[in-house]
A and B are shown apart, each in its own frame.
Chain A
Amino acid sequence: MNDDQDSPSTGQSTLPAASEITAAPAAFGKYRAPTRAAFGLTSPVETSSVHLTINGQPREFHLAPWTTLLDALRLYAGLMGTKKGCDHGQCGACTVLVNGTRINSCLTLAVMQQGQQITTIEGLGTATSLSALQQAFIDHDAFQCGYCTPGQICSAQGLLYEGKAHTEDEIREQMSGNLCRCGAYVNILAAVKEVVDAQTA
C-alpha cells in the first residue's frame, strides 16, 4: 500500500507514467487518468487477528493487514501518545520500543509484530510517577510543542538500554533519528545526558 497518492513519481493515482512526464514536460492538454485495471480495484477490508502485548497488557486486534503498528496503536488501541509526523520513517515521532529496542512504528505493519512486547510513552511513566527521562525532559525544558516528545523519550529510553552512547557527541548522533522542529535539541541533549550519567555513575 502506497499512500503517496499525491506523488507524481509513483505514477499512481491520476498521473501519467513517469516516462510520459519526463518525455513531455511542456505538453499540455487533455489527459485521462490511467485505467483501474492496474490497481485491482477490490474491497480491501478483509482483516486478520493480531495479538500484541502493549505496555504489559495482552491485546487482540482485527486489522487490515497493511495497518501499520503506528496506526494500530493510535486508532485501534487508543494510545494517541505515539505520534505520526511523516509516516515514512523520516521524523522519529512514532518511536516505540519493541522488546526494548526502539523502532519507527510507522515502518512496520502490526501483523509483523505478532506476539511482541510493545512499550509506548504511556508505558514509561504517568504524571504522578514519571520516569527519570520524563522528569529530566521537564527539568531541562527539552520540548516546546510536545509533539515529538513521546518519540524523543522512547528513543532515549532505547538509547539507555543500548548502553552505547555516553559522550555528548555520541548522544547527539544517537538521538538524530528524532526531529524536533521547535529546535529544543540543546535541552534534549542536556536531559538525556543527565539520565545517561546517572545510570553509568
Chain B
Amino acid sequence: MSSTTLIGQPTSRVDGAIKVTGAATYAGEFVVPGLAYGYVVNSPIAKGRITQVHSAEVLALPGVLAVFSHENRLPLPDDDNCYMDQLAPGGSPFRPLFDATIKFNMQPVALVVAETYELARYAAAVLRLDYEQEPHQTDLSKQRGAAFKAPHQANGFYDYPPSRGLPEQAWASATHRVAGDYAHPTQHHNPMETFATTVEWRGDGQLTVYDKTQGTFNSQQYICNVFNLKKENVQVHSYFVGGAFGLALRPNYQVPLAVMAALALKRSVRVTLTRQQMFSLSYRPLALQHVKLGTNPDGSLATLHHEALQATSQFEPYAETVTHWSGVLYRCDNVKLEHLLAPLDVMTPVSMRAPGPTSGLFALEVALDELAYETGLDPVELRLRSYADRNGLMDKPFSSKKLRECYQQAAARFGWAQRNPEPRSMRHGDLLVGWGMASGVWDSSQAEAGAQATLTADGKLTVVNGVNGDIGTGTATVICQIAAETLGLPLSAVTFRQGESTMPAAPVQGASWTAGSVGTAVQKVCRQLREQLLTLAQQLPDSPWRQAGPSEIEFTDGKLGLLGQPETQISFSEVLRAHRLPHLEAEVTASPDAKRQQQYSVNVHNAVFVEVQVDPVIGTVRVTRLVEGVAAGRILNPKTARNQVLGGMVWGIGAALMEETVMDHRFGRFMNHSLAEYHLPVNADIRELEVIFVEEEDDIVNPLGAKGVGEIGILGVSAAIANAVYHATGRRLRELPITRDKLL
C-alpha cells in the first residue's frame, strides 16, 4: 500500500504559477504563422430571410480576405446527424451559414476575414445585409398554448413516472396548504473569456484547432462531421479555459466559422467573439413555475405539485431537470410533476451550472418556507419531518446521504437557533435583518474515461488524458494528487498532460463528474504501473520482495519495499535501471460499475443558511453571511473544492439579487448584452462566506468516493436569500432577481 496521504490535502494548484504570471494560454491566444482574423456579423432581426449580402463593398478594402455567408460558404451536409454533438438534445441543430433563414436575433450571418483584427472588425461593422423580416415570438407567457411535454431522455432527464400516489386527493384533504407562481429568469453564463477558436492550417487539409471547449473530443467529432474530415486530420487542443459553466459543452458557432475560413483560405484563422456576441449564444432558459404543497397533520408533506414551463428554440427541444428534484429531495407519497417546453424564436438554451435545480429548487424551497410559516414549524424542522431516506422518484436507496448533518452543522455554525421567526423582528441599526435557509440536491456519476501513464527511469511520472484544459475546477491538481498517492511519489514528480484529442478519451466536462471519472482512470493506470514495478522488482536477484504479496509491499516516495521495513526499499529508478528499461508504460480505460451503481441513487446534498440586511428606505439587499454545509463524499482537495463551492455561493447571490437577461420582445433580442447591464456580483457584494464539508463515505459513486462539487454550491442559495428577505421585510418575492423595484 501507499503510505503518502496526498488525496484530501489542501494542495495549492499545480498550474497556479502559470496562471498568476499570465503564462496560461487560452484558445484565442495561440500564435500561429500567417494568422488571419475573422469577425462575426450577427442578424439584427429575430426571424426572416437574408435577401442580399453586399460583400463586394468590404472585399474592396485592401487587406480584407473574404466574406463568408450562406451565399458562398463551403459545402455543408444537409443532414441533422452531422450537426449533432454529444450534447445535442435532438431536433435539428442550428447550422451556421447554411442558408438564408434567420431563426433568432443575433444569429451569425457572415464572417469577415482580414489580415488584421482591426480591419476585420471595421469591415464587419460596415458589411451590409438586407433582410425580409417576419413576425417572431419570443414571449414565453404567450406561447403556453404551443407547449409540449419535455422529452424524458433529454439532458439527464430520466424516464420515471412524473406522478405518484393521489396528488389531487391529498391536496384536497391537506392540513396546511400553500400555492404560488414562481419565475426564474433567463441568465447568461458570461465566463470571463469570450469564446474563441484559433485554427492552425498545417497544410494538406491538416488542422490543429485551439478551442474553448468543455469537450475536446466533442469539438473534434463535430468538426469532422460538419466538414467531412477525418479525425487524423483534425486535432483539437484545449489547455486553459477561461470559465465555461456549461456554455462550452456544445460547440458554439465560432468553431465551424473559423474552421470553414481556414479550409477555404488554406491559412490559419482565429475567430473571437465579443462580449456582446456572447449574448447570441445559449443560456439558462426562463422557467415559469407553479408549486403547491400540502401537509399531513404532523407537518410532513402530504402532497407536492410542481409544474414548469420553460423556453426552448424552434429547432431543438432542450430540457433540463426543473421539476425532477422536487420528486427526490423530500419524502412525499403524493407527487405530481409536469415539465412543459414552449418553442420560441430564440437560440437553443444549454446547461448552465446546475441546470434544472437552480430554477426548480428556487421555487420549491421558497414554497417550503411559505409552508413553514403556514404550519408554524421552523424551516429546518419542516424539512426534517419529510426527510427522504430513499429517492422517491426513482424508488431507490441513496448510496449515501448526510443531508441531516448538513442541516445540523451549518445551522449550528450560523447560529440558527437564535432566530426569531417573526418577519421584521430583527434589526441592525436602521437596517432590517433577515435569516433564511434552503437546501439542494444534485446528481453524482461516473463516466468512462481513459488514462495513459509513463514512469521514466529518473523517477518522474507523466499521466495523460484528453480532458479539456482546466475550466477552473483544479482538475490537474487533484489528478496529480491521485497519481502521486497511488504510485507512491512526491507530488513534484508527477506531471499531468491534458487537452489534446489524440490523448486517451474523457467525457465532456460537465455534471460534476470529471474528478471522479478521469481520477478513477488515473488511479487505475497508476495501480497497473505499481504491479509492473513489483513484478520487475521480484525478478531481481536476491530480491527480498520475491515472496511478498501486493498487500505486503509499500510504495512511498518513489521507492518500494516491505511494509514497515525501510531497509528493504529500492527506488523505482533502480528497478528500471536494473532491467535496462528507459520507462514503464500503461494505458487503461475505466468504466463505471453500472450494474452496482444502478441499484442506488447517487446524490450530493447541501444546506444553506443566509443573513441579509435590507435597507427599508431604498430597498438595497446585502448578503452579510452565508454558511453552506455540503455532503459530497470524499473531498479530494479541500482548498480547490472550497473555492468551487464559494463560486457557487457567489453565483447564488448573483441569481438572487441581480442576474437577468431581459428580452425586448419588439425585436426578439436580449437588450442588456454587456457586463455593465447584465449585473454580476463584484468583490464588494460578497461578505462572509463559509463552507462546511460534512464527512460522508460513499463506495458506490466511484472508487475514489468523490461525488464532485462543481454544481452543488449554487443550489439553495437564491431561495435561502429570498426566504431571508421575507424574514427581514415581510415581502414574499417569488420572482428572481430580487431587485429594489420589487421590494419598494
Contacts and interface: CB of A to CB of B under 8 A. Distances in A.
Contacts of B640: 141
Given A5-B124, A148-B192, A172-B684, A141 B12 contact: yes
B420 interface: no
Nearest to B196: A84
Interface string B218-260: 0000000000000000000000111111000000000000000
Interface stretch (B22-30, B314-322, B563-571, B734-742): B22-30
B643 interface: yes
Contacts of A178: 682-683
Most buried by A among B23, B41, B134: B23
Interface string B190-203: 11111000000000
Contacts of A169: 684
B674 A44 contact: no
A80 B650 contact: no
B422 interface: no
B22 A88 contact: no
A138 B13 contact: yes
Interface in A154-201: 169, 171-173, 175-189
B189 to A, nearest CB: 8
Contacts of A79: 22
B472 A1 contact: no
Given A143-B20, A147-B192, A183 B61 contact: no
A1 B675 contact: no
A146 B19 contact: yes
A149 B649 contact: no
A54 interface: no
Q: How large is the interface on B (under 10, 10 to 19, 20 to 34, 35 or more residues)?
A: 35 or more
Contact of A187 (B15, B643, B674): B643
Interface stretch (B114-122, B489-497, B579-587): B114-122
A66 B125 CA distance: 14
A112 interface: no
B647 A85 contact: no
Interface in B672-719: 673-676, 680-686, 689
A134 to B, nearest CB: 4
B131 A179 contact: no
Contact of B192 (A21, A74, A181): A181
A153 B44 CA distance: 38
A79 to B, nearest CB: 8
A71 B118 contact: yes
Interface in B456-503: 470-474
Given A67-B118, A141-B13, A147-B193, A3 B128 contact: no
A126 interface: yes
A179 B29 CA distance: 20
B683 A176 contact: yes
A183 to B, nearest CB: 3
B309 to A, nearest CB: 24
A179 to B, nearest CB: 6
A131 to B, nearest CB: 9
A138 B667 CA distance: 46
B16 to A, nearest CB: 4
A91 B472 CA distance: 18
A147 B48 CA distance: 38
B127 interface: yes
A146 B242 contact: yes
A3 B473 contact: no
Interface in A1-38: 1-8, 12-15, 21, 25-26, 28-34, 36
A134 B275 CA distance: 27
A120 B667 CA distance: 41
A36 B676 CA distance: 30
A11 B241 CA distance: 34
B63 A45 contact: yes
B626 to A, nearest CB: 10
A81 B116 CA distance: 20
Nearest to B280: A6
A185 B129 CA distance: 44
Contact of B647 (A41, A44, A84, A182): A182
Given A183-B647, A183-B648, A80 B29 contact: yes
A32 B130 contact: yes
Given A7-B276, A146-B19, A185-B683, A33 B470 contact: no
Contacts of B127: 13-14
B9 to A, nearest CB: 13
B675 A183 contact: no
A153 B23 CA distance: 14
B651 interface: yes
Nearest to A5: B125
B133 interface: yes
Contacts of B25: 80
Contacts of A25: 666-667
A93 interface: yes
Contact of B22 (A4, A66, A121): A121
A143 to B, nearest CB: 6
Contacts of B643: 141, 144, 182, 184, 187
B674 A143 contact: no
Given A8-B44, A41-B57, A122 B22 contact: yes
Interface string B13-43: 1011111111111100101000000000110
B683 A8 contact: no
Contacts of B647: 144, 182-184
A139 interface: yes
A40 to B, nearest CB: 9
Given A141-B16, A145-B471, A182-B192, 9 more contacts: A4-B276, A13-B128, A39-B126, A41-B126, A45-B119, A82-B22, A125-B21, A130-B17, A153-B20
Interface of A: 1-8, 12-15, 21, 25-26, 28-34, 36, 39, 41, 43-45, 64, 66-67, 71, 74-75, 78-88, 90-91, 93, 120-122, 124-127, 130, 134, 137-139, 141, 143-150, 153, 169, 171-173, 175-189
10 contacts: A3-B121, A14-B41, A43-B62, A82-B22, A130-B17, A134-B20, A141-B12, A180-B192, A183-B646, A187-B643
Report, nearest first, the 5 A-B pairs whose CB atoms are least far apart: A81-B22, A183-B650, A144-B472, A147-B242, A146-B19
